[in-house]
Chains A and B, each alone.
Chain A
């Protein structure tokens, strides 16, 4: 499949450009921030000892012209050096890599849930347009779309953990329970349920609305009339003709919005004490640990690009017209 390789290559070039801009943006933020770049990098002014600040100043050549500094900065990043967290006394890369799996698990699950649920709901509403099921779905989507993610999380905790006691409210797994194997896996799934639903709900609402609108639009297209003129049944018309065509614009938007989904995980992880990047971000905000914040920005950008490539691939699978060039 040389075509697929070429496609991946073109996406990768695009990804590198995006990451390059993110790096430059990070660099600009460090320098545009109030105060000395070295103290910014070291954390809140006064928090780091003078020796470390001096060391940073030398390491990044802060007495050099700006473009040289940018070069040094990019050089560090190319070597996988995203800085050092004074607060946590660890390299930022290590901190990020520690937390990445939990965030990937959370966002991917939420993404799949939102996409699958949203498309199913939207299609159901479109098929029953004007009937009660359409109204119910539309109202629910409207409400979910207007609710702050973190508040949904808190309310779910209130209902399902505090009142009903069905699901755990915090963490990644039961600490000190000594579970292993399948048991541990089930335990993690239990812990994931609320965070994934919380994060997925908002985007499910987005995709529901999109799918509904898109399916209705597709339903009024000529080729649907053709299918009807063939004597095809309404159900088959939906599954064979409407669905695939209606999904395309949803995928496009889902790709574009992947960034927001990853951003939303900060809030969800904060609410559920989920040990991922979001939780790390929250702590870094509290401690004004800027190196970590900039590192999170970099890593989440990478994550978004991965999501983009996935949606693009899905698009290619569905639409034969896409000539990968």
Chain B
């Protein structure tokens, strides 16, 4: 057991300086941690915590000259990487220490065959001849579970899906049997079922090869799924480090406690079940839509079914959730209801009128009843307009006096938990969470009956997510709104929705009360989705701190 005594990798007082004139002097400051053979260490933190910076420093991938190591060392088997020559560092890179990245879609060279890209690593670090290299490539592609390795070796990246590309990245990283694999949010860009496969693959290979894995993530579910040890980072410092079981269940640092406390608990049916009464507010019947994708330089014309004869009803006061993976058509359905997408057929009944049969002018009065909150807080507010103006524009378009609309905008800002003075500022002065509040205020200014929220928190950090979700729930109750909530995160859907519909390839495969769908799923796809949620074995301890500021 002497191996465990000498850490494979030791980070000692590592400090990485940011360029001058930023809001922070250091990206990370005095970081200490060790990585042992045969373990998975998770580095977890919110955006801007500096969790990736250390990993990039280990690989010598810090963007020059913006980021530079100001102090400290990185010891690999006792040798300091920081003071090594470039050539020495390159010998380690991709050979003893390998790395995979967040975006599999862009991590491969689009103009090179898959096989050639994996072979590149072999050519750099070994003397294998061409035949041996080819054999090794095929072997690796098979080892990461890709079908037809011989064929994939010869294809170009654009032929592969995101999950397949991430497998290729893993094959490339492991081609030389490294001691250390650094995985920088490797599943964040993937759908939940693909994420599950990739996590399983990494875990399996790690156990098999007794490799050390440094796994960077923002998702505590993923941590619970694979970590042996956890380091929690905030503002460029490690605030807590320890065994996974310890950190997850008995967090010592207040920040870790708050972070874990803000996670969606993923349990449905806390309150009394929603009983729909009377007529539905809105009923979508037989809605279908096929997209024709025009031919480009990169591919011929295709068709894509995004809405395949969908039925959906929403009652006043009800929160309906739509869950599904990317491309399942949930956003298209929402955009159809709000009138941004014109479907090929079907009807949408709202207060006795079929919205789809109305022409532009006849539809206009209905617009204000259905409002939408969008996903990307940075794209959903016009950067050239003041916040007050943004909120007032809708009512003004419907004939309200400008001064009155601006005064109401200030009231609404109060309702969503912002200062009234925010009205005079521009969007870029606000954080992501604050911008989502402005978006909500803009929707509310129209006094809608139905609020559609399209992934409203998926671009936000966990602690901010919790606050925005709480705000939505509060407003919904206060104003007795109906809500259509779209998300890829089943834990969130379970927590806030009365009714949940599961979408796949443009169809709703299962719909029912949240407790029923999550507690006793009937459809196979629903079951697969649920079992893919990472970290199911772990129930976060009850929140010990109230929110995080």
Which residues of chain B from 100 to 130 have a CB within 8 Å of any chain A CB?
101, 103, 106-112, 117, 120-121, 124-125
Interface segment among B89-97, B216-224, B306-314, B407-415: the answer is B89-97
Q: Taking A230-B94, A230-B121, A232-B120 as contacts, is the C-beta distance between A223 and B172 under 8 angstroms? A: no
For residue B168, give the distance in angstroms from its CB to the closest CB of chain A. 10
For residue B60, give the distance in angstroms from its CB to the closest CB of chain A. 8
Are A222 and B120 closer than 8 Å at their CB atoms?
no
By a CB distance below 8 angstroms, the chain A residues around B173 are 229
Are A323 and B298 closer than 8 Å at their CB atoms?
yes
Are A225 and B61 closer than 8 Å at their CB atoms?
yes
CB-defined A-B contacts under 8 Å, sample of 11: A226-B109, A226-B172, A228-B59, A230-B93, A231-B95, A232-B90, A245-B111, A321-B156, A321-B158, A322-B297, A323-B300
Q: How far is the CA of A240 from the CA of B111 in the complex (A)?
A: 10
Does chain A have a CB within 8 A of B98? yes
Does chain A have a CB within 8 A of B99? yes
Does chain A have a CB within 8 A of B169? yes
Which residues of chain A from 274 to 325 have a CB within 8 Å of any chain B CB?
318-323, 325
Q: Which of B93, B110, B173, B295 has the most CB of A within 10 A?
A: B110
By a CB distance below 8 angstroms, the chain B residues around A322 are 297-298
Q: Which of A229, A232, A319 has the most CB of B within 10 A?
A: A229
Are A231 and B124 closer than 8 Å at their CB atoms?
yes
Q: Taking A227-B109, A321-B156 as contacts, is the C-beta distance between A222 and B101 under 8 angstroms? A: yes
Nearest 7 Cβ contacts at the A-B interface = A230-B94, A231-B94, A231-B93, A222-B106, A325-B300, A223-B109, A231-B90
Are B106 and A228 closer than 8 Å at their CB atoms?
no
Q: Which of A220, A228, A233, A245 contacts B109 (CB 8 A)?
A: A245
Q: How far is the CA of A321 from the CA of B117 in the complex (A)?
A: 16
Does chain A have a CB within 8 A of B299? yes
Q: Which of A221, A223, A229 contacts B98 (CB 8 A)?
A: A229
Are A323 and B299 closer than 8 Å at their CB atoms?
yes
Q: How far is the CA of A318 from the CA of B111 in the complex (A)?
A: 7
Q: Which of B94, B109, B299 contacts A229 (CB 8 A)?
A: B94
Are B110 and A321 closer than 8 Å at their CB atoms?
yes
List 12 extra interface pairs beyond A228-B93, A230-B120, CB under 8 A.
A221-B106, A222-B106, A226-B108, A226-B172, A230-B94, A230-B121, A230-B172, A231-B95, A240-B112, A241-B109, A244-B111, A320-B158
By a CB distance below 8 angstroms, the chain A residues around B109 are 223, 226-227, 241, 245
Q: Taking A322-B298, A323-B299 as contacts, is the C-beta distance between A229 and B99 under 8 angstroms? A: yes
Q: How far is the CA of A223 from the CA of B112 in the complex (A)?
A: 11
Are A231 and B111 closer than 8 Å at their CB atoms?
no
Q: Taking A231-B90, A233-B90 as contacts, is the C-beta distance between A245 and B110 under 8 angstroms? A: yes
- Chain A contact residues, CB within 8 Å of chain B: 220-223, 225-233, 240-241, 244-245, 318-323, 325
User: Which chain A residue shows the least CB distance to B156?
Assistant: A320
For residue A285, give the distance in angstroms from its CB to the closest CB of chain B. 39
Q: How far is the CA of A230 from the CA of B95 in the complex (A)?
A: 7
By a CB distance below 8 angstroms, the chain A residues around B59 are 228-229
Q: Taking A231-B121, A245-B111, A323-B299 as contacts, is the C-beta distance between A225 and B93 under 8 angstroms? A: no
User: Which chain B residue shows the least CB distance to A315?
Assistant: B297
Which residues of chain B from 121 to 153 have a CB within 8 Å of any chain A CB?
121, 124-125
For residue B216, give the distance in angstroms from its CB to the closest CB of chain A. 14
By a CB distance below 8 angstroms, the chain B residues around A323 are 298-300
By a CB distance below 8 angstroms, the chain A residues around B63 are 220
Q: How far is the CA of A187 from the CA of B101 in the complex (A)?
A: 58
User: Which chain A residue shows the least CB distance to B124?
Assistant: A231
User: Which chain B residue shows the least CB distance to A234?
Assistant: B86
For residue B59, give the distance in angstroms from its CB to the closest CB of chain A. 6
Are B295 and A325 closer than 8 Å at their CB atoms?
yes
Q: Which of A221, A223, A245 has the most CB of B within 10 A?
A: A223
By a CB distance below 8 angstroms, the chain A residues around B90 are 231-233
By a CB distance below 8 angstroms, the chain B residues around A245 are 109-111
By a CB distance below 8 angstroms, the chain A residues around B169 are 226
Q: Which of A221, A229, A231 contacts B125 (CB 8 A)?
A: A231
By a CB distance below 8 angstroms, the chain A residues around B103 are 222
By a CB distance below 8 angstroms, the chain A residues around B95 are 231
Q: How far is the CA of A8 from the CA of B125 in the complex (A)?
A: 43
By a CB distance below 8 angstroms, the chain A residues around B108 are 223, 226
User: Which chain B residue shows the least CB distance to A316?
Assistant: B297
Q: Which of A222, A231, A240 has the most CB of B within 10 A?
A: A231
Q: Which of A225, A244, A323, A325 has the most CB of B within 10 A?
A: A225
Are B120 and A223 closer than 8 Å at their CB atoms?
no
Q: Which of B93, B111, B120, B125 contacts A319 (CB 8 A)?
A: B111
Are B61 and A228 closer than 8 Å at their CB atoms?
yes
By a CB distance below 8 angstroms, the chain B residues around A228 are 59-61, 93
Q: How far is the CA of A221 from the CA of B111 in the complex (A)?
A: 13
For residue A323, give the distance in angstroms from its CB to the closest CB of chain B. 6
By a CB distance below 8 angstroms, the chain A residues around B298 are 321-323
For residue B475, give the distance in angstroms from its CB to the closest CB of chain A. 39
Q: Which of B91, B93, B111, B120 has the most CB of A within 10 A?
A: B111
Q: Which of A220, A223, A230, A323 has the most CB of B within 10 A?
A: A230
For residue B117, give the distance in angstroms from its CB to the closest CB of chain A. 8
By a CB distance below 8 angstroms, the chain B residues around A319 are 110-111, 297
Are B110 and A223 closer than 8 Å at their CB atoms?
yes
For residue B162, give the distance in angstroms from its CB to the closest CB of chain A. 13
Q: How far is the CA of A318 from the CA of B98 in the complex (A)?
A: 29
Q: How far is the CA of A226 from the CA of B172 in the complex (A)?
A: 10
User: Which chain B residue shows the least CB distance to A248?
Assistant: B111
By a CB distance below 8 angstroms, the chain B residues around A320 are 111, 156, 158
Are A229 and B93 closer than 8 Å at their CB atoms?
yes
Q: How far is the CA of A320 from the CA of B92 in the complex (A)?
A: 32
Q: Which of B120, B172, B300 contacts A240 (CB 8 A)?
A: B120
Q: How far is the CA of A316 from the CA of B108 in the complex (A)?
A: 19
Q: How far is the CA of A228 from the CA of B297 in the complex (A)?
A: 29
Which residues of chain B from 386 to 420 have a CB within 8 Å of any chain A CB?
none
Q: How far is the CA of A229 from the CA of B111 in the complex (A)?
A: 18
User: Which chain A residue shows the least CB distance to B300?
Assistant: A325
Q: How far is the CA of A241 from the CA of B109 in the complex (A)?
A: 7
Which residues of chain B from 255 to 272 have a CB within 8 Å of any chain A CB?
none
Q: How far is the CA of A321 from the CA of B159 in the complex (A)?
A: 9
For residue A278, give the distance in angstroms from its CB to the closest CB of chain B. 33
By a CB distance below 8 angstroms, the chain A residues around B124 are 230-232
Q: Which of B91, B101, B156, B158 contacts A231 (CB 8 A)?
A: B91
Q: How far is the CA of A320 from the CA of B156 in the complex (A)?
A: 7
User: Which chain A residue shows the least CB distance to B97?
Assistant: A229
Q: How far is the CA of A244 from the CA of B156 in the complex (A)?
A: 15
User: Which chain B residue shows the least CB distance to A225?
Assistant: B61
